[in-house]
Structures are given as structure tokens and as C-alpha cells.
Amino acid sequence: MKVDIEKFGRIAVITIDRPPVNALSQALRKLIEVRLDEAAGDEAVKGVVLACAGRTFVAGADIEELGEVRPPTLHAVIDKLEALGKPSVAALHGTALGGGLELALGCTFRVANRDARLGLPEVKLGLLPGAGGTVRTTYLIGAEATLKLAGSGNMMGVEAAQGIGLVDAVFDNDLVANAIRFLSDRIDADDIPPPVRHRREAMPACDPQALESLTAELCRKARSSAPELAAQSVRNALTLSFEDAMAEERRLFETATQSDRFGALRHLFFAERAAAKPSGDVAEAEPRAVQTVAVIGAGTMGSGIAMAFANSGFDVIVRETDEAALARGMERIADTYDRSVKRGSLSAEEAGRRKARIAGTVAIADLASADLIIEAAFEDMAVKKTIFAEIDAVARQGAILATNTSYLDVNAIARSTTRPADVLGLHFFSPANVMTLLEIVRGDQTAPDVLATALKLARRLGKQPVVVGVCHGFVGNRMLQARNADLSQLILEGAKPAQIDAAFRAFGWPMGPCQMQDLAGLDIGWRNRKALGETDALPDRLCELGRLGQKAGKGWYLYDDNHKPQPDPDVDAIIAEIAEIGGIARRAVTDAEIIDRTHGPMIAEGRRILDEGIAARSSDIDVVWAHGYGFPRDLGGPMYWDDHLRESAQEKKKV
């Protein structure tokens, strides 16, 4: 780690260099402070360029150190920069995020590379920007634009940033040289605006009502109240003096860093990165090149997988057994893209490019050119084995063969080929073009470079990978089964489906288990039970009565034309009847009991999964649940919740 200073005539360039992302640790802040003092004390220096070495401008405060207040604070460093008495310009490349953007706001100007991105992502950690990010930004670009940035945590491209005044100039190359020239020209023209803190008067106007509705929308989208913190601070920027608004922002920030929510979200931040990182023999292996991907099966899953790859620039071949099924799959794909265009989330040109990347075939021989073949056929071992033997006969040497099975034994599937080292599981979640989780299933014989390739692919696809071992249902579905194992019994004892779902939503889930089963189709579980020779009287009866879920207009609930679930007295009658047959006394069940009897077994299963080495780390399980099943991020994942929050939540309830 170092911070250099170099003079180019009357301009001093201060270069921050702390790989990988120049995060502002205490040690780095100290070094920056020293260089700022040097620049301030040098009479010959008339202006300062603040730049970064490596792949990015400062990506924020050091998340490891957040919550500790150790001098010099970021506030102090930014204040010093703002009070240099000489104009300064931040030269932004890569991602200027959080404390990095706040540092840049301490400069008189901001210039950027065309592909740079800016953002205030603190909300994703349950925080708000804590070093002027809401106050100075509001002065510069107005309250609404600031809240959009700080309340969503989304990054913004430089052209948009220039449009709203966050960036003063954009360059295609030679960023630092251009920044020096930019600053020199401004000095020569005597065109130096005051520091951002003194630009309150020029602040764009804002409609308080618009701020209110924007805050509500941000909270709804985030399924969290975290955006309210940024909103409160933006309102303070409008109504309080600079000093008071800054003090208040800092107080809100420091309080938030002590919260359970921050602890949970910071845990997930590092957990996600740990899960995506190759380790052991996989870290040493060279990933194989992949450009052409074949998908076997054009059903919901297969077409979703095909789109996920096409969206990331891969060439895709979709294979179906007959022309009619292929046509249906290709139509489903085209419809999905057309809907995105209609919604405005995708341009017609881009949709056209993506569609053009997907070719269809019924000839298995056409898969010979593929670097990766993913089977997304019916969930049946015999079917899968036949398909793998077929692929084995046509795939080129070195091609990777993957199964998208959600439950089945990847080792058995691998053994049906002559090359088990090239076989692994790539378990996408539905819809595969939307859901971020990818369980990468390592078979007994899967080669390290096959795994390394899968991890690299996940990154290219924008997916969150987690490497798991072979067992029935892997990490996610195995724990889901445990979570739902007591569901029928709970209902028969007296908890209504609507009460169970409401208890789950109150916990923070996007939906409860009954709603989820209705959405997926109750027949999935029914078919599984039949295959295993098992029964579950209550859902079996619903299925026998044609109550297969939302698609049938009725399941646990009754659905109106808008797919809105309504509790159904007929279901209550079925429950009462089966309870009576089983001699189950009905009683009031509390919400706490619902959470305990569903989450308890799920976490116990998670512990068994760890003991068996199916997941490498407890935090991997949290990542699976946060990305694949909507476990509330604010609670850090089931294992983290159990280890850190469950008891204190129970204590709070008692008080």
C-alpha cells in the first residue's frame, strides 16, 4: 500500500495505491493525509489531481473496519482536501463507490473515464453514506437524484453522472493527463467554483412529496427499511446547515454500523465473495475456454438457461427431441424477450442480438461443437443417464458436460459417460435468466479445471456460485424439504395456510411456503412423493381434488383472475376432516411456533450438510438461501441468523 505524489509543472498528482480496490482503511487515510499536507505546503503547487492506481478508483471505506472510529476519520481527510486552498480534481476510473465517491466530492471537480461507474452502495450494507455522501451530493445534484443513488445503491454510468452534474468531464483515455490539462485550463481561465459545501444555494429544487414516494418505492424494492436512513439524511441536507446535516449523517451512520442488520449484511458481503472464489486444487487449475453452450431441453428451465447464456454473449444451441417441442421452446424464449422490450427493460436491438445468439436443433450431432453442454431434461435418473450416454458419444474431447438436476445423484449421472472427470452439476434456479444462484455440484471425479471453469462462467453470467457436494437435493432443496417437513402437521394442528404465510412474511420472506407451493405447483411434491412411495395426506388430497396450485386456480388458496390468493373455506373443511381422521386435536398455534418448527429443522439439516462436507462453509449455506430462496438478507442467512440473531430476537419478543 502506498500513496505517491508527483509534480507535473504546477499540478501535483496524488496516486492512491492499495490493491485490490483502494478501500479506505485507517492506514490508507493516514497516507493520503500526509500527501495532502505536502501539496498544501508546497507553494509551487497550484492544483491537485487525486487519482488511483490499479483497476479502480476508491471503492469505498474498508468494510472490514466499518464500525471502528479511528483517526484520521474519512471526514477529516475530506475536509482537508476541501480546505486545501488550491483547486483539485478527482480522476475516476473503474468504480468510485461510497467513501470513494465521498472523497471525490471533497474535490473541486470530478472527471472520469467513459467506462467508469459511480455509486453510493452503503444501503446494501444497511447503512447510509457516512462522510458527506448524502449532504454534498444533495448540494451538487439535488435531493431526488441523491436519494435515487443512495437509496438504491445502484451504480450510475458517467454519461448520466455528467448529465446531472456529478461529473464535470468525461475522457476516453489518458485519464490523468487529461485531468491535469482540465485543471490547468480551469486555473488559467480563473474558472474555479467554490468547494461543494458552499454550493448549497445552487442546489436543484425538490418536491418533498416526490421524495416521500421515492423512499417508499426504494424500501419496497429492497424489502428493507434501510433506504429510509439515506432519505432522512437527504431531508436534513435540505433543512439543516451543512455542519448540522453532516453531524446528523455521521450519527445516523455510526448508529447503523452498530445494528444487527449491518452485521448480517456485512457477513453476506464477504460470504458471497468467499463462495465465488476458487480454493485448493481449483485455484491452481486453468479454466477451459467456453464460448458455445448447448442446452438440452427447451422447457421452462432449459429456455431460461439458454437466455442466461445468450444475455451474457455466449453462442447457444438449444436441443429438443422433436420439432414441435423445439418450436414451443423457441417461442417461449422469443416471448420473454418481447415482454422485456414491451416493459422497457431491454431495447429492441439488444433483444434482437440476444435472440440471434440462440439456435435450435433436434439433431444431437449438432452439439459436437459445444464447449459446454447442459442437460435440462425431465427429473428422472433413467432419462438423464440415456441423455448423458448420447452426449458422451457426440461431445468433443474437453467439452464440459453438466446436469441441471435439482436432486439427483450427479456421480451416477457422471458414471453413465466415459468421462466422469468432465461432468458436474450446474443447478440453476427458476427462472434461470433472472435468479442469481448457481449451485455448482462437484462430483467425486469432477476435475479441478472443470470446477474452475464453472466458477468463471458464473461470474460471466452475473450469477452467484456456491460449490456443493453430491447428496439428494444438494444444499438448498435438501434444507427446503426439512423446512417444509412439518408443514402439514402444523396445519392439521391448527395453523391456517394464511397464518403460516403471514408469519413467514413478517419474518422477512417474500412469500410463505403455502404460497410458494401454489406458485410452483403442488403436483411437483406429489409426483416426488409417489416416486419415493411416500404419502402426505393433506397435500395429496388437494392434488387428488385437482387443487394443483395457481395454475389450476386453486391449491392451498383460491385464486381470482388476477392471481390474488384468497383463503378457501373448502380447504379449511379438508383440513378439519383429515385432522379428525388422524385424531389430531386442533388448537391455536402461535407465529413463533410456526417459525421454530419450520426454521429449526431447516437449520439442523444445514448443520448435517456441513458435517458431511456437502457445503464447505456455513456462510456458503447463507449465500444459497439469500440468493436462491429469498431468505431475508437483513438476517444474514439461516446459519448466521441461528448463530447470531435468533436468541436475541426471542429475548426481545419476551420483553
Q: Does 304 bind ligand 3H9 (CB under 6 A)?
A: no
CB-wise, 146 or 336, nearer to ligand 3H9? 146
Chain-centroid distance, C-alpha 339? 23
Is residue 45 near ligand 3H9 by the rule CB under 6 A? no
Phi, psi at residue 587, to the nearest 5°? -155, 170
Single residue of 48, 74, 364, 471 touching ligand 3H9 by CB under 6 A: 74
Whether the Cβ atoms of residue 23 and residue 121 lie closer than 8 Å to each other: no
- Which three cell numbers mark 130? 457516512
Least spacing, CB of residue 514 vs ligand 3H9, in Å: 36
Which CB, 64 or 174, lies closer to ligand 3H9? 64
The 3-state DSSP class for residue 613 equals coil
Q: Does 133 bind ligand 3H9 (CB under 6 A)?
A: yes
Nearer to ligand 3H9, 226 or 395 (CB): 226
Q: Does residue 20 bind ligand 3H9 (CB under 6 A)?
A: yes
- How far apart are the two ends of the chain, measured CA to CA in Å? 49
Q: Is 63 in the site for ligand 3H9 (CB under 6 A)?
A: yes
Based on the shown chain and the rule CB under 6 A, indicate whether residue 620 belongs to the binding site for ligand 3H9: no
Amino acid letter, 151:
G
Report how far residue 632's alpha carbon sits from residue 172's, in angstroms, rounded to the nearest whole number.
41
Site for ligand 3H9 in 255-294 (CB under 6 A): 273, 277
Compute the least distance from the CB of residue 251 to ligand 3H9, in Å. Answer: 12
The region that residue 598 occupies, defined by phi over 0 for left and psi between -120 and 50 for alpha, beta otherwise, is: alpha
Inter-CA distances, 467 with 64, 446, 602, 623, Å: 24, 12, 19, 11
State the catalytic residue, choosing from 122, 144, 375, 605.
122
Interface of this chain with ligand 3H9, residues 21 to 40, rule: CB under 6 A: 21, 23
One character per residue 90-129, x = contact with ligand 3H9 (rule: CB under 6 A): -----x-xxx--x------------------xx------x
Known catalytic residue: 102? yes
Kindly tell me which of 20 and 569 has the beta carbon lying closer to ligand 3H9.
20
Calpha distance 277→567 (Å, rounded): 45
3-state DSSP of 542-569 = HHHCCCCEHHHCECCEEECCCCCEEECH
**Residue with smaller CB distance to ligand 3H9, 221 or 277:** 277
Q: Are 131 and 254 in contact (CB under 8 A)?
A: no
Of the candidates 38, 82, 102, 375, the residue annotated as catalytic is 102
CB of 148 to ligand 3H9, least distance (A): 17
Does the N-terminal peptide bond of residue 287 adopt cis geometry, omega within 30 degrees of 0? no
222 binds ligand 3H9 (CB under 6 A): no
Nearer to ligand 3H9, 272 or 540 (CB): 272
**Closer to ligand 3H9 by Cβ: residue 283 or 327:** 283
**Cβ partners under 8 Å of residue 240, min gap 6:** 248
Q: Is 390 designated active site? A: no
Which of the residues 141 through 160 are near ligand 3H9 (CB under 6 A)? none
- Cβ(478)–Cβ(469) below 8 Å: no
> What is the smallest separation between the CB atom of 185 and ligand 3H9, expressed in angstroms?
31
Q: In sequence order, what are the residues at sequence separation of 6 or more whose Cβ sits closer than 8 angstroms to the Cβ of residue 337?
A: 307, 346, 351, 354, 355
527 contributes a contact to ligand 3H9 by CB under 6 A: no
Binding footprint of ligand 3H9 on the chain (CB under 6 A): 20-21, 23, 59-64, 74, 95, 97-99, 102, 121-122, 129-131, 133, 273, 277
Residues with a catalytic annotation lie at 102, 122
